[in-house]
Amino acid sequence: MENEKRLKRNIIMITDGDAAARGTVEEVARRIGGRCISRSSGNPTPLTGERIVSLIKKAQHDPVLVMFDDNGDTQMGKGEEALYYVATHPDIHVLGAIAVASRTRGALGVKVDVCIDRYGRKVNRPVNKNGFVEAGSEAYIIGDTVDVLNMLHIPVIVGIGDIGKMKGRDETCVGCPVTMAAVRFILSKNGYSLKNSRNWKNS
């Protein structure tokens, strides 16, 4: 049983997959010494969950960052279908998810552990797609690819604004501070030491 757990690949799921998200997620993966499944980007997600799992298994090392996107579909679209398959696969261990906000009518939304606003601050209130804090008594995210998270047991969920809609505040040229903060929060909650190194240690 212990060996089986050790063989599982550790991933972080991001519910955004457009070109802006891809650039940021790739850079964050590089900075933490992880891997990004670049081919998982697209509007909507272009790959099946089965294909994404295959690519995750081929990644050189963990953590592996994976993108999913429903492209505005309020039902369970391709992104959510792929996310559900990956998250429930026996060879995958989900460290956490980054729930990305969007202006999607009819979406239920998901309660998150914390939100990161456009300025990189942790807040216990909702943020919108532009990364601004909204009124509310708890951290919550509404987006087109987040409802499926309610069907899963995700240990840590962090909410952020749309990666490409925060006026450049999460771009690679400024170090992707919002997505980086979200990834670091998830890693810290899973016992990873916060060193900018290829060798993330699970203590």
Tens of pLDDT, residue by residue over 1-48, are: 444 445 899 999 999 999 999 999 999 999 999 999 999 999 999 999
What lies within 8 Å, CB to CB, of 49 at 6+ separation is 81, 82, 83, 84, 85, 86, 89
With cut-offs at 50, 70 and 90, classify the pLDDT of residue 198. very low
| Mean pLDDT, rounded, for 152-181 | 96
Residue 7 pLDDT: 82
Going by their DSSP bridges, the two strands 114-116 and 122-123 should be labelled as antiparallel
Residue 172 pLDDT: 94
Residue 195 pLDDT: 58
Tens of pLDDT, residue by residue over 113-133, are: 999 999 999 999 999 999 999
Environment class of residue 118 by beta-carbon count within 10 Å: exposed (0-12), middle (13-18) or buried (19+)?
Answer: buried
Residue 47 pLDDT: 98
| Mean pLDDT, rounded, for 131-148 | 93
Tens of pLDDT, residue by residue over 59-82, are: 999 999 999 999 877 778 999 999
Given a contact cutoff of 8 angstroms between Cβ atoms, the answer to whether 68 and 83 are in contact is yes
Query: What pTM does this model have?
Result: 0.92
Residue 20 pLDDT: 95
CA–CA separation, 37 and 44 (whole Å) = 15
CA–CA separation, 124 and 129 (whole Å) = 16
Tens of pLDDT, residue by residue over 80-110, are: 999 999 999 999 999 999 999 998 777 789 9
